[in-house]
Amino acid sequence: MRKRSHRVRAALAAVAAAVLGVAGCQGAGGGSPAAKGTKARAPRPPVWDTSPDSVAAVGDSITRGFDACTVLSDCPEASWATGSDAAVESLAVRLLGAAGAAERSWNYAVTGARMADLPGQMAQAVARRPELVTVMAGGNDACRTTASAMTPVADFRAGFEEAMRTLRSALPKTQVYVSSVPNLKRLWSEGRTNVLGKQVWKLGICPSMLADADDLTSAATLRRESVQQRVVEYNEVLKEVCAKDRRCRFDGGAVYDYRFGTDQLSHWDWFHPSKDGQARLAEIAYRKVTASRP
């Protein structure tokens, strides 16, 4: 019995020592010590930087501020992306301040540009080595002389993918904010209430959607619906291609969903954004770019 008691006491002492040893390790470091010869890993920085230090813009007439100041003319100072106009407070101004935007933002958008033109614009942007590139393109791919002349979806995808490759081959860490294509049918619905605007439309502004603006026959309705459907398909492409790049953010359809009213439309053509409309686009972009999560 005496030997058995001795063995029991010895076993209990060993268990107690083991328990105290584990507690001591946890108290000292809060966890198991790193293996000998290894270093503790530093936390990985977030992939998306909510405060990029420079901005380049590519795209079409909306990013050039077309018709925001005078009829049938670019007004880049009113651009939602890089403009200097205080009434707009562009994305660049919101991110960098007025002085910073003047020094470290660049606008390579071109009025009339389509997705096929984006790789060339992106190559220009790459030369500036921006920390953020904004993309708004696709409106002119849908706004053709006829609905049948719209850019095929496969070609649209190929153009956007090429533009992203152009960027990534030179700047793998540059961030990209991609705006959805606006709801062209909503712009037609709002703008057709203005007689002057409809006269300007006849000069050739988005004829696939805006031609014969007051024609409500089944054929005209079908034409507008086909244009609208193509815009939806373009936005799906933008979403899908962007999702494959960890430093790309699509706006989630925010621009497409925005309910532009007459105050947000140019009073020259009643189709492109006015300064007020440009300011709304800047607000959307800033909210998306600075969000902690997409």
Give how many domains the chain has, as a whole number.
1
- Judge whether 183 lies within some domain: yes
Name the residue among 251, 107, 99, 282 with its Cα closest to residue 183: 251
Q: Is the pLDDT of residue 11 over 60?
A: no
Q: What band does 293 get if pLDDT is binned at 50, 70 and 90? A: confident
- Judge whether 1 lies within some domain: no
User: Is pTM beyond 0.95 here?
Assistant: no
Residue 76 C-alpha from the chain's centroid: 19
User: H helices of the chain, where?
Assistant: 2-29, 91-104, 118-127, 139-142, 153-170, 184-191, 195-201, 207-210, 218-243, 254-257, 275-290
DSSP-derived 3-state class of residue 64:
coil
- Judge whether 14 lies within some domain: no
Q: What band does 286 get if pLDDT is binned at 50, 70 and 90? A: very high
**Torsion angle (degrees, nearest 10) of CA 196, 200, 205, 207:** 80
Give pLDDT tens digits for 197-235.
Answer: 899 999 999 999 999 999 999 999 999 999 999 999 999
Its domain, for residue 95, covers 55-290
User: H helices of 30-110, where?
Assistant: 91-104
- For residue 265, the 8-state DSSP code is B
Name the residue among 254, 249, 253 with its Cα closest to residue 291: 249
Check which CATH number belongs to the domain holding 270 and give it.
3.40.50.1110
5, two tokens: 């008691």
- For residue 41, the 8-state DSSP code is P
